[in-house]
């Protein structure tokens, strides 16, 4: 055909429908917001009914949310919500649980060591690497600001 | 006496008949509009096996066993089996036939494999090297997802251009017979890289390869689209199909009447998960081995050009930022 590669890519882009950004953003906001509301409610219950102190609530809420994310992943529910929620299920800590548990389930068949354990962090690994690195960089900046 | 026509086409002078075909389809495909043409529809994705890979192998094995039964031949009389699939090292195919005791030729043409295996099997028969050959391919949504994309339970959003890998396997027995559809031509495609890098837009990547092969087929055989009752591409999906019509239209070939794509036929159009359409080796294979062969038997069509389309990418090449080279092979089938 007569197209150059660039011309063809431009033409193919025009032919390909874009993601429905507005719809995706609204769903992400609503479902992501709902997950955060659940987290807040659990925190309030821990504080007001179980009498946990502030520090313990900060530890207990993520633990509970990770558990719920993992449970819903195992029950084949989380990915169905994520189909509509997109970033709404990806960004909260439940998304982190999903990334780890889905890999663990998928690669269990290749064994507990080289399958499940080794592949568990294929998706979550980069989040850890860059998360930890950026916190180190921010820590250094914070330290410098304190000393100056 | 050469049997080659023009640049890339083989013309089979001898009769190469399709003795039988069998199509094994997944559960979701079984809810699609072509369900009644399949020989077997799986009740679930696993089909009693403990890995998806074993399920896919079992699908190929069953497709050939069923086709052998229908052709009323002895499996040991098959001279060569041509098989391929999408998985690393083509294990679905090799594991399927390790107990068959038939000379085996494994092929990788990504989703073009059905056309590739058919064309090569026909060449063996036409050349006088074989009396009976089998051609088979398969794909499975779950094996393809875990190799090319994400774990099944991972919560991700698919782009509108992404296609859904068909769970299915199609098997064909070729030989010599009377009053059966025959393979008359095989146009071997060249690798075409149009520069598309988005692995979620394979229809756009493959359409130029399909257009080149179809165009070459017309030039080599002096045929036009109207010589066929149906021209059928393997898995271009909605976007690829529309691009192909544009590309061939620019060359003066009107494809609007008798052209379709298996990726746009295999699933229920109201199924919101499918996005761009069906894909995978199984997409073209089950449509050809089920619906199309049934149409031949019912004398509703007499001439079909089946064009298998393959995106020759790997997860590694995608991660390294390479564009997607593609290939398409065309097989002409005519009623005798």
Q: What is the pLDDT of residues A52-87, one digit of tens each?
A: 999 999 999 999 999 999 999 999 999 999 999 999
Q: Which residues of B touch A86 (CB under 8 A)?
A: 157
Q: Chain A: residue nearest B155 by CA?
A: A79
Which of the 8 DSSP states describes residue A4?
-
Please provide the average confidence, as pLDDT, over all residues in chain B: 95
What does pTM read for this prediction?
0.95
Please tell me which of the candidates B155, B159, B247 has its beta carbon nearest to residue A95.
B155
Q: Is A8 on the interface with B (CB under 8 A)?
A: yes
Q: How confident is the model at residue B269 (pLDDT cuts 50, 70, 90)?
A: confident
* Residue B232, helix vs strand vs coil: strand
Q: Chain A: residue nearest B52 by CA?
A: A109
Average confidence (pLDDT) over B180-188: 97
Is A100 a domain residue? yes
Residue to test with chain A: of B144, B157, B208, B276, most A Cβ within 10 A: B157
Q: Which residues of A touch B277 (CB under 8 A)?
A: none
| pLDDT above 80 (res A2) | no
Question: How far apart, in whole angstroms, are the C-alpha atoms of residue B18 and residue B336?
Answer: 11
Q: Is B191 on the interface with A (CB under 8 A)?
A: no
Q: Do B156 and A79 touch (CB under 8 A)?
A: yes
Is A146 a domain residue? no
Question: How far apart, in whole angstroms, are the C-alpha atoms of residue A68 and residue A33?
Answer: 16
Q: Do A9 and B195 touch (CB under 8 A)?
A: yes
Our count of domains for chain A comes to 1
pLDDT score recorded for residue A1: 55
Helix (H), strand (E) at residue B304 = strand B303-311
Q: Which fold has domain B182-334?
A: Peroxisomal Thiolase; Chain A, domain 1 (3.40.47)
Return residue ranges of chain B for CATH 3.40.47.40: 4-175, 182-334
Q: Which residues of A touch B243 (CB under 8 A)?
A: 11-12, 15
Q: Which residues of B touch A101 (CB under 8 A)?
A: 153
**Residue B173: which of B131, B138, B234 has the closest Cα?**
B131
| pLDDT above 90 (res A3) | no
Q: Is B212 on the interface with A (CB under 8 A)?
A: yes
**Residues of chain A numbered 119-138 and touching chain B (CB < 8 Å):** 123
Q: Chain B: residue nearest A6 by CA?
A: B195
CB atoms closer than 10 angstroms to residue B336: 12
Host domain of residue A102: 18-121
Q: How confident is the model at residue A39 (pLDDT cuts 50, 70, 90)?
A: very high
Give residue-wise pLDDT tens across range B32-82: 999 999 999 999 999 999 999 999 999 999 999 999 999 999 999 999 999
Q: Evaluate whether A120 touches A104 at the Cβ level (below 8 Å).
A: yes
Give residue-wise pLDDT tens across range A48-59: 999 999 999 999
Please tell me which of the candidates B154, B243, B250 has its beta carbon nearest to residue A12.
B243
On whether the B4-175 domain is CATH 3.40.47.40, my answer is yes
Contacts of B164 (CB under 8 A, 6+ apart): B141, B267, B273, B274, B275, B276, B277, B278, B279
Question: How far apart, in whole angstroms, are the C-alpha atoms of residue B192 and residue B206?
Answer: 8
Q: How confident is the model at residue B1 (pLDDT cuts 50, 70, 90)?
A: low
Q: Chain A: residue nearest B323 by CA?
A: A5
Write b or e for each residue in B291-321: b if 16 or more Cβ atoms lie within 10 A of its Cβ, otherwise e: bbbbbbeeeebebbbbbbbbbbbeeeebeee
The vertex-B40 CA angle with B36 and B46, nearest 5°, equals 130
Is A136 a domain residue? no
């Amino acid at each position: 055909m007569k197209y150059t590669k660039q011309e063809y890519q431009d033409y193919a882009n025009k032919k390909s429908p874009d993601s429905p950004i507005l719809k995706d953003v609204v769903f992400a906001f609503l479902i992501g917001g709902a997950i955060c509301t659940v987290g807040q409610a659990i925190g309030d219950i821990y504080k007001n009914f179980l009498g946990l102190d502030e520090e313990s609530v900060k530890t207990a809420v993520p633990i509970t949310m990770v558990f719920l994310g993992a449970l819903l992943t195992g029950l084949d529910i989380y990915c169905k919500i994520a189909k509509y929620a997109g970033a709404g299920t990806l960004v909260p800590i439940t998304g982190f649980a999903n990334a780890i548990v889905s890999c663990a389930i998928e690669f269990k068949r290749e064994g507990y060591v080289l399958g499940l354990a080794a592949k568990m962090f294929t998706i979550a690994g980069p989040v850890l690497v860059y998360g930890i690195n950026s916190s180190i960089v921010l820590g250094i900046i914070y330290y410098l600001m304190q000393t100056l | 006496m050469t049997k080659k026509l023009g640049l890339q086409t083989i013309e089979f002078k001898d009769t190469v008949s399709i003795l039988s075909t069998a199509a094994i389809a997944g559960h979701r495909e079984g809810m699609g509009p072509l369900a009644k043409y399949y020989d077997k529809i799986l009740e679930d994705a696993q089909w009693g096996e403990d890995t998806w890979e074993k399920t896919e192998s079992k699908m190929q094995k069953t497709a050939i066993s069923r086709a052998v039964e229908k052709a009323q031949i002895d499996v040991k009389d098959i001279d060569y089996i041509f098989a391929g699939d999408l998985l690393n090292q083509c294990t679905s195919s090799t594991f399927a036939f390790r107990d068959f005791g038939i000379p085996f030729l494994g092929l990788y043409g990504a989703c073009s494999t059905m056309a590739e295996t058919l064309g090569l099997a026909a060449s063996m028969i036409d050349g006088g090297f074989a009396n009976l050959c089998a051609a088979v391919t398969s794909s499975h949504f779950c094996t393809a997802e875990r190799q090319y994309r994400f774990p099944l339970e991972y919560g991700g959003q698919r782009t509108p251009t992404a296609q859904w890998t068909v769970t299915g396997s199609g098997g064909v027995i070729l030989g010599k017979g009377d009053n059966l559809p025959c393979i008359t031509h095989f146009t071997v495609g060249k690798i075409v890289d149009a520069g598309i890098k988005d692995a979620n837009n394979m229809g756009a990547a493959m359409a130029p390869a399909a257009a080149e092969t179809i165009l070459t087929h017309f030039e080599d055989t002096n045929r036009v689209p109207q010589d066929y009752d149906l021209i059928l591409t393997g898995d271009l999906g909605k976007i690829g199909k529309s691009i192909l019509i544009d590309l061939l239209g620019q060359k003066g070939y009107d494809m609007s009447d008798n052209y379709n794509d298996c990726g746009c036929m295999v699933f229920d159009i109201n199924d919101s998960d499918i996005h761009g359409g069906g894909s995978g080796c199984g997409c073209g294979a089950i449509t050809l081995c089920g619906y199309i062969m049934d149409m031949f038997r019912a004398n509703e069509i007499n001439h079909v050009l089946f064009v298998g389309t393959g995106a020759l990418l790997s997860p590694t090449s995608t991660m390294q930022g390479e564009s997607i080279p593609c290939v398409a092979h065309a097989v002409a089938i005519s009623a005798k």
